[in-house]
Chains A and B, each alone.
Chain A
Amino acid sequence: MSENHTTSHEGENHGSYGSYIVGFVLAVILTVASFAAVLSKAFSFWQTIAVLGVLAAVQMVVHLIFFLHMGVKSASQRQNLYAFIVTALMVAIVIIGYLFVLWDAQANMMPG
């Protein structure tokens, strides 16, 4: 039956062989670039930190698109994207909110 509840597998959101290879190669390049940025000593300390931060952020996007199947092409990719956005929003609310509240309490309650 098509309305098979327990064992359905939709193909569309699971990516293809090609997309996994692309994702893997990109991930390897970004990882190697991170190591290179540190080992080559081409940058100053804070520049290295910044470069690593940027590379890490790009790495996350690569993982989200190629391995966690986020995107805008198919309905299930969009669902993954929405789920991620909601999660990110909630995490942002909680972390920014705690910093806001606790920093303020610290400033008001414990001067000096």
Chain B
Amino acid sequence: MLGKLTLSAIPYDVPILVGTFIGVAVIGIAVLAAVTYFKKWGYLWREWLTTVDHKKLAIMYVILGLVMLVRGFADALMMRTQLALAYAGNPGYLPPHHYDQVFSAHGTIMIFFMAMVMMQALFNFVVPLQIGARDVAFPLINSISFYMTLVSAILINVSLFVGEFSNVGWLGYPPISELQFNPGVGVDYYIWSVQISGIGTLLTGMNFLTTIIKLRAPGMKWMHIPVFTWTAFFACIMILTTFPVLTVSMALLALDRYVGMHFFTNDGGGSVMLYLNLIWSWGHPEVYILILPAFGVFSEIAATFSGKPLFGYATMVIATGIITFLGSIVWVHHFFTMGSGADVNTFFGIMTMFIAVPTGVKIFNWLFTMYKGRVRFEGPMHWIVGFMITFSIGGMTGVMMAMPAADWVIHNSLFLVAHFHNVIIGGVFFGYVAGLSYWFPKAFGFKMRDVWGKWAFRFWFVGFYLSFIPLYAVGLEGMTRRMNHYDNPNWHPWLLVACVGVFVLAAGVACQVIQFVFAAFDAINKKPDAMDLTGDNWGSGRTLEWSIPSPVPHYNFARLPVIRGLDTFHIEKELGRPAPLTELEPIHMPKYSAVGPVLGACGLVIGFALVWHIWWAVVVGLVVAFITVVHRSANLDVDFYVPVEEIRADEEAFAKRLAAAKAAE
């Protein structure tokens, strides 16, 4: 009846997990009780859970991403404290089997459920506003994407308390991930949560590529598209070309494990190397999928806070395109040691080094944007300066490792771990946090207190160097990654420093939480100087999203904007906004739908049931999902018109706020 699921799968004998479970349960019950007490279930369901509005989906993505950030960060804390303790005979507090799950969960969560989620949040919020669209091309599919991501995140957290998680690293390399060596359910949790979230990401990529191609406001030519949207465009192309590869590699691994096939086994004709090629020809483009939107965020912020147009717009677009192409032909640099010959390794090594060229172009573009500008060092600008320094160091160690001969020495060492954290924290994470603080007032209509953002930056910046520069050192001394304990006295002081660093990072996370709490506090009290009246919160916004009220009305644009060039809002500020040519018209919008949550619930049931071999539940989930899709396809009542009166009232209220803001100046 319940497949492999028995009471022994619940780890009630592991104190850390029981403690965590009690903590999660208390918080969860408190949240549910609060929603019930304030009678918000109806509101939550009607306004949020069934929404197809890209802005609300973006906010839900951000919440999911932040929760998963805390989860992944807790894993990081555990790893660093374990390595500070587990020296010279001391086993530390995490036995190897548990430690292996911790680092696997850390990697999987931070990439799939923190970085990808935050990236989709930014796509959702920014892209339609920047191109003057009223929603994405397929609003319902957008909601389904979110639910696929959400349920796979839930699935990975369920593995904490029911069964176990994968213990083979974040990419699940065979043969260790094969049934022969890993008969537990950990790898199955990994496969199905990655698989389901992959569906969500693929749908997002398809959706936003279509949106950018088809739904740009009248007059917006290709070279009028803001840089963030360009980076989203190229990231979507990479999602569409590489995520199917991930789906296939996970599916083949699942076939190996579930029906005894031999794609990647050691015997039966399987080839482990095929898996490495498959997973990395997804995995390397994946890191560019993550970093390109961060580059886009930095481009927007550099221009806004320097009071200048972005230096080298065209080169920025071209460099992004070149990175997209080169990023697809470098995957072998993840396994130079696999055993290919000099010609293969040389080709992929040189291609990897080439990527430093367009990336360097971008760094210089941002520097020249700031050069002779009126730079204002507000919160978002801190992150970009920190990013340029940190990312350049990470890029240089990357070029070092692109040399196959050097890579043979430092492959699989903590040097590598330091390198990719250097570019992912210093690039991706700094970029997404900067984007979050940059567009936060646009999403909510009030500002966060900048001082806490600056403190968060300082702790993250210092904490990053304290945590990861020591790892470069121990990596060069030969410490391999994923090590549970060690007895080399040279490594111990470095790992103590890294442990201090991770607590500095924790202070940064705490500042970010405090920033959100204060923002909510200010908003509830309607603190006057926290409100964003004009919609152009930074005063120097250049792109379309700053021309509309904050928070953005659900239809985005009362009249579709007419684009007069790059940075169209800036042009309007210089030349004056043209009088509206058309009267307000009713706006055609999609209706909210319960299809997303229902399909999400089906996905969760199917995923959980596949992990535990509960076949009847898989069938039930599939049948319900099929009926839901058919029912939706037959439903013609999917849209409505926003009445002119509502739009006019919004417009008049916005005009009043603008006038009040002007009077206050």
List chain A positions with a Cβ less than 8 A from chain B. 1, 3-7, 79, 86-87, 90, 93-94, 97-98, 100-102, 104-105, 107-109
Known: A79-B213, A98-B277, A101-B332. A5 touches B590 (CB 8 A): yes
Minimum-distance CB pairs A-B, first 3: A90-B241, A109-B339, A104-B340
Report yes or no: B328 in contact with A101, Cβ–Cβ below 8 A: no
Known: A6-B139, A97-B329, A105-B339. A1 touches B585 (CB 8 A): yes
B343 interface residue per 8 A CB criterion: yes
What are the residues of chain A within 8 A of B586 when measuring CB–CB? 1
What are the residues of chain A within 8 A of B274 when measuring CB–CB? 98, 102
Complex Cα distance, B329 from A109, in Å, reads: 23
Report yes or no: B328 in contact with A90, Cβ–Cβ below 8 A: yes
Report yes or no: A94 in contact with B281, Cβ–Cβ below 8 A: yes
What are the residues of chain A within 8 A of B213 when measuring CB–CB? 79
Known: A1-B588, A104-B340. A93 touches B329 (CB 8 A): yes
- A sample of 15 cross-chain residue pairs with beta-carbon separation below 8 angstroms, ordered by A number, consists of A3-B560, A3-B588, A5-B588, A6-B639, A87-B241, A90-B241, A94-B245, A101-B277, A101-B332, A101-B344, A102-B273, A102-B274, A105-B340, A107-B341, A108-B339
B613 interface residue per 8 A CB criterion: no
Give A81 Cβ to nearest chain B Cβ, in Å: 13
Can you add 11 more A-B contacts, CB < 8 Å, to A5-B137, A105-B273?
A5-B588, A5-B590, A87-B241, A90-B241, A93-B329, A100-B344, A101-B340, A104-B343, A105-B338, A105-B340, A105-B344
Of A5, A79, A93, A109, which contacts B134 at CB under 8 A?
A5
What are the residues of chain A within 8 A of B273 when measuring CB–CB? 101-102, 105
B100 interface residue per 8 A CB criterion: no
Give A91 Cβ to nearest chain B Cβ, in Å: 9
B510 interface residue per 8 A CB criterion: no
1/0 per residue B263-276: CB within 8 Å of A? Answer: 00000000101100
B638 interface residue per 8 A CB criterion: yes
Interface centre among A6, A86, A101, by most chain B C-beta atoms within 10 angstroms, is: A101
Residue of B nearest to A4 (CB): B588
What are the residues of chain B within 8 A of A98 when measuring CB–CB? 274, 277, 281
Known: A5-B137, A93-B328. A102 touches B271 (CB 8 A): yes
Give B279 Cβ to nearest chain A Cβ, in Å: 12
Give A87 Cβ to nearest chain B Cβ, in Å: 7
Residue of A nearest to B244 (CB): A90
Interface centre among A3, A7, A100, by most chain B C-beta atoms within 10 angstroms, is: A3
B237 interface residue per 8 A CB criterion: yes
1/0 per residue B337-356: CB within 8 Å of A? Answer: 01111011001000000000
Known: A1-B585, A5-B134, A94-B245. A104 touches B639 (CB 8 A): no
What are the residues of chain A within 8 A of B245 when measuring CB–CB? 94
B94 interface residue per 8 A CB criterion: no
Report yes or no: B590 in contact with A6, Cβ–Cβ below 8 A: yes
What are the residues of chain B within 8 A of A4 when measuring CB–CB? 588
Complex Cα distance, B238 from A86, in Å, reads: 10
Residue of A nearest to B238 (CB): A90
Complex Cα distance, B135 from A101, in Å, reads: 43
What are the residues of chain A within 8 A of B590 when measuring CB–CB? 5-6
Complex Cα distance, B245 from A107, in Å, reads: 25
Interface centre among A7, A98, A104, by most chain B C-beta atoms within 10 angstroms, is: A104
Complex Cα distance, B560 from A103, in Å, reads: 55
Complex Cα distance, B213 from A79, in Å, reads: 9
Report yes or no: A104 in contact with B135, Cβ–Cβ below 8 A: no
Residue of B nearest to A100 (CB): B344
B162 interface residue per 8 A CB criterion: no
What are the residues of chain B within 8 A of A3 when measuring CB–CB? 134, 560, 588
Known: A87-B241, A104-B344. A5 touches B215 (CB 8 A): yes
1/0 per residue B122-152: CB within 8 Å of A? Answer: 0000000000011101010000000000000
What are the residues of chain A within 8 A of B436 when measuring CB–CB? none
Give A57 Cβ to nearest chain B Cβ, in Å: 23
Interface residues of B in 97-131 (CB under 8 A from A): none
What are the residues of chain B within 8 A of A5 when measuring CB–CB? 133-135, 137, 139, 215, 588, 590
Complex Cα distance, B588 from A60, in Å, reads: 40
Interface residues of B in 345-404 (CB under 8 A from A): 347
Complex Cα distance, B588 from A3, in Å, reads: 8
B587 interface residue per 8 A CB criterion: yes
Report yes or no: A108 in contact with B340, Cβ–Cβ below 8 A: yes
Give B22 Cβ to nearest chain A Cβ, in Å: 46
Give B127 Cβ to nearest chain A Cβ, in Å: 14
What are the residues of chain A within 8 A of B332 when measuring CB–CB? 97, 101
Complex Cα distance, B139 from A4, in Å, reads: 13
Complex Cα distance, B237 from A6, in Å, reads: 22
Complex Cα distance, B248 from A98, in Å, reads: 15
Residue of A nearest to B52 (CB): A6
Complex Cα distance, B304 from A69, in Å, reads: 42
What are the residues of chain A within 8 A of B328 when measuring CB–CB? 90, 93
Give B503 Cβ to nearest chain A Cβ, in Å: 42
Report yes or no: A97 in contact with B281, Cβ–Cβ below 8 A: yes
Residue of A nearest to B241 (CB): A90
Give B123 Cβ to nearest chain A Cβ, in Å: 17
What are the residues of chain A within 8 A of B241 when measuring CB–CB? 86-87, 90
Residue of A nearest to B140 (CB): A6
